[in-house]
Each structure stands twice: as structure tokens, then as C-alpha cells.
Amino acid sequence: MTLPGRGRSRDLGRHFIVKPRSKVDLGAYDPADTSHVGDKEAAKEQLKENSEAIDALQERLFAERKRALLVILQGIDTSGKDGTVRGVFGSTAPLGVFVTAFGAPSAEDLSHDFLWRIHKACPARGTIGIFNRSQYEDVLIGKVRKLAPPAVIEHRYDQINAFEDLISSSTRIVKFMLHISKDEQKERLQARLDDPDKHWKFNPGDLADRKLWDEYMKAYETILSRCSTQGAPWYVIPSDKKWARNAAISAIVRRTLEDMDPRYPKPDWEPADFKVE
């Protein structure tokens, strides 16, 4: 396993990063934009190169065992969270990659604060953790469906920022919002209804959430505006085209790992002292 060069790859992240304390208007982001990656063939080639680089960097991270990487994926139903895990990390060795999908909290989860189940699932040093949904659900569905009083929701943004600052001591954090258009969601929901092999992915409740589209977009704008920090930035990824989404996310994950620059550890023993007999 050799690392392709020590130089840094192209910095696609700067196109998509949400600058700390900026006010986000999602209407200004085109979910169908592909200009950053070129055409489909070029994007697939980029994804392949990035995936190989991520796999090599992940081995170093695992050997080093000093820091973790946490990748948070958020997006409205059908935005492609599962597909991103498959597309971007499908060829990374599963030894050091752990995916956690956060669904409705269990009775045990609910008997603690809202970050308890999140903290438990945070990646250990040396590993990559991928959150398919995350703590942000508590200020997304939590807010839109009024699952907690407004003052409680309001307090959560600061609690999340403080929590992310805490885990930053051992963990690098990147957060992706998979941004699709309302028309694209319609097509994808319809595909799940039309294809029997996709029925299991369809949840009748998704249609109720679709009716709350505008409220969800507002809730996303709030988390992007309030919770993109230097140490745990949000990226808004145009996701109508799956290939453009995968190319962009893989590029940012790769670049983040390059920036962390994990190294094989020096042994605390002298190789010349040992002989295998």
C-alpha cells in the first residue's frame, strides 16, 4: 500500500465550505451544479483516485493511532447518505471504518441527554467514523416537528458546538449536507415506489416530511449558519448528480486526511535486535 505522492490533492472543499458565522441562504446554492468536477467520466475517475488515496491514508491513520476522523452526513430523505457511504468508502478497508446510522432514539437513549448516544458512537483514535444522520437530527426533525420546546432546541446549537469542540481534542470533524432539489427528491421517492427492490427504502412518513420541505430547509440554514466552525466545518454539497456528489465528498475527505498527514509510528524497539528463528 503506497501513498500516491506526499503532495496535496486539489482543494475542492473551498467551493463548498460554509465560512464560520456566515449567514446561509440555501436558495443561493445550486443542487445540480457539477462545474467543479467536470463531466461524469472525469468525476468517476476522480472518485476512483480519491478512494484509493483515502484507503492508503486510512491505513496510516490506523497504524498511527493518534487521531480519529469523523465524517457526518446529513440530508433530507433520498439525498444520498447511504449512497455516499457506499460510493466514497466502499473500497476502503473496513478494518478502520465504522458507520453508525442514527434512527429514532431508543428508550435507553432517551433516558440520557441527546448527545449521549452520539458520544458513545464517536470513533476511536486510528479510525474513521461515519455518521449517517447525527446530533443534528435533534435540531432538524426535532425543530420542524417540535419534539422539544423552542428554548431547548435553541440551546442545542451551543451544546453541539461545545460537544464538537470537546471531541476535537482527538478527532478531526467534517460535516456534509447533501443538497438536492425538491424535484430530484420527487423522482427518487417515485423510484422507490416503482421498483419492488427499493420498497424497503420507502417509508410512508417520508411524504409527510416532504410536505415540510421549506421548514426543513430553514432548519438546515440555521445549523449551517450557527454550527460551521473552524474545527468542525460544514460543507454544502450539490447532490442532484450522484457522481458529482461522490467526487466532491471524496476529494474533501482525502484532502482532510492529507492535511492530518498520519505517519507510520516509529517502533520503540530496534529492528536489528530481533531475529526470527
Of 95 and 162, CB closest to a copy of itself: 95
Burial class (CB in 10 A: 0-12, 13-18, 19+), 200: exposed
Of 18 and 68, CB closest to a copy of itself: 68
Q: Least Å distance between CB 121 and a copy of itself?
A: 12
Of 149 and 267, CB closest to a copy of itself: 267
Q: Least Å distance between CB 70 and a copy of itself?
A: 15
Q: Least Å distance between CB 203 and a copy of itself?
A: 9
Of 129 and 233, CB closest to a copy of itself: 129
Of 36 and 254, CB closest to a copy of itself: 254
Are residues 49 and 4 in contact, defined by beta-carbon separation less than 8 angstroms?
A: yes
Beta partners for residue 69, in sequence order: 128, 172
Distance CA 132, CA 253 (A): 15
Distance CA 258, CA 254 (A): 6
Which three three-digit cell numbers place residue 189? 421517492
Q: Least Å distance between CB 5 and a copy of itself?
A: 15
> 126: helix, coil or strand?
coil
Distance CA 26, CA 138 (A): 20
Q: Least Å distance between CB 21 and a copy of itself?
A: 34
- Residue written as cell 492529507? 258
Angle (CA) 131 263 52, round 5°: 55
Of 26 and 63, CB closest to a copy of itself: 63
Q: Least Å distance between CB 133 and a copy of itself?
A: 13
Q: Least Å distance between CB 148 and a copy of itself?
A: 28
Of 27 and 204, CB closest to a copy of itself: 204
CA dist list (Å): 25 to 54, 141, 211, 263: 32, 19, 20, 40
CA dist list (Å): 47 to 51, 81, 165, 247: 6, 16, 30, 5
Q: Least Å distance between CB 118 and a copy of itself?
A: 18
Residues of this chain that interact with a copy of itself (CB under 8 A) are 1, 63, 82, 85-86, 89-95, 97-99, 101, 130, 132, 186, 189-190, 193-194, 196-197, 199-202, 204, 207, 210, 264-267, 269, 271, 274, 276-277
- HSE-up (13 A, CA, CB side) for residue 276: 1
Distance CA 126, CA 59 (A): 9
Q: Which residues contact 224 (CB under 8 A, 6 or more apart)?
A: 18, 24, 26, 177, 234, 236
- Residue written as cell 505517519? 263
Of 180 and 236, CB closest to a copy of itself: 180
